[in-house]
Structures are given as structure tokens and as C-alpha cells.
Amino acid sequence: MTTGDPARFPVVALVASAGGLDALTGVLAPLPADLPAAVLVAQHLDPFRTSHLTSILAERTALRVADAADGDELEPGVALVVPPARHLLLTPESRVALVDVGALPPARPSADLLLATLAVTCGPRALAVVLTGKGTDAQAGIRAVARCGGTVFAQDEVTSAHFGMPGAAIDTGLVGSVLPLPDIAGAILGHVRAAHRAFSPLGGGYPE
């Protein structure tokens, strides 16, 4: 394994829709530059408009933030943002695969597609975090995450600008923690630090 092999660290997927910029800022801003996890960010975006989401988030967190590019490796301390008009999948080699969106929804980028491939690629190293948003995107994806041994957090109703996505996630009964927005970063940090120790070869808990 190389140093960048994602088998040695957890992977966090943050998914959001309406109201997502403030929620993503609230989650990413407190996270340290040395976060022992890779981060994937998917917010529903207009496929026909230029997005400034990556540059805005890069100014608000110590993590390195970049647009996801086809073939990217996951790296701890790096947040990759799904660009407009693309869906992000993870390949069996745990690399980014971008595919063009179709003319019609599903939601773009699709949280369900991201989370389903995250689930089968990363198994118990996956942490899905469902933030504010309209609709039910992510509901199927978190079923996959839970089925493959991963963990799911959701934003609570009080702090969500729109409770469609978190509410749909919670309705599955598979969300491990329902949290107000100010508590999510701390919960992520605690989870990934524990998971990193468990899944590191030196920790002795890496699942074969």
C-alpha cells in the first residue's frame, strides 16, 4: 500500500442541497488541516451555471479544498467537491470517477450515486453526513452505507434550512446520530480519529 491508500483512513461524504453552503461551512470550518480522513462534498448545483462553491469553501476551512477531477486519489486532509453537471462515483480502486449528468434528474450531483459507491468501496470506513436540503436524495445511498458497515449522521430539523434530505435519511432508521449543525464537526472529528486508529495497520483493527 502507498501512503495515500484509502484503506488506511476513513472517508467522509458531506451531501446537501438547499441551504447547503451555510451548512457545509459550519461543518468544514472547524475541521483541522491534519484531519485523518478524506472528504467528499456533494451539493446539488445548477448544471448550467458556473459554481464558486469550491473557492468559497477553501476560504473557510483549514482543509485543502479542490474540485474533484476524474482519476483523483483520495487523500486525508483534502476535501474534493463534485463539480456541476457531473456525478461522482468511487471506483473499486478508490479513485474518483466523474460521469456526465443526464438531461433529467436525479438530483445533480446525486448523493445516492456517490454514497452507494462509497459504501461498496469503503465499507466500515465510510461516514455519510446528510445536511440540509429539499427532497429525498441520499436516502437510498445511506441504506447502502449502513448495509456495508458504514456510519450515518444527519443534521437535525431545528438547524436545517430545509429538512427534506435529513428527514428522509432519519426515516430509514439507519442514522446513527442526529445532530445540530454546530455539533457535527466535533462528531466527525471524534469518529474519524477513532476509525483511523482502528483501521490503521498499526492499530490492529483493519478489516481484511
93: burial class by Cβ within 10 Å (0-12, 13-18, 19+)? exposed
Mark whether 196 is an active-site residue.
no
Question: Catalytic site residue 17?
Answer: yes
Chain-centre distance of CA 111, in angstroms? 9
Please pick, among 87, 94, 112, 137, the residue that the annotation labels catalytic. Answer: 137
Given a contact cutoff of 8 angstroms between Cβ atoms, the answer to whether 56 and 43 are in contact is no
Q: Is 137 a catalytic residue?
A: yes
DSSP 72: P
d(CA 102, CA 70): 18
Hey, which residues are catalytic here? 17, 44, 137
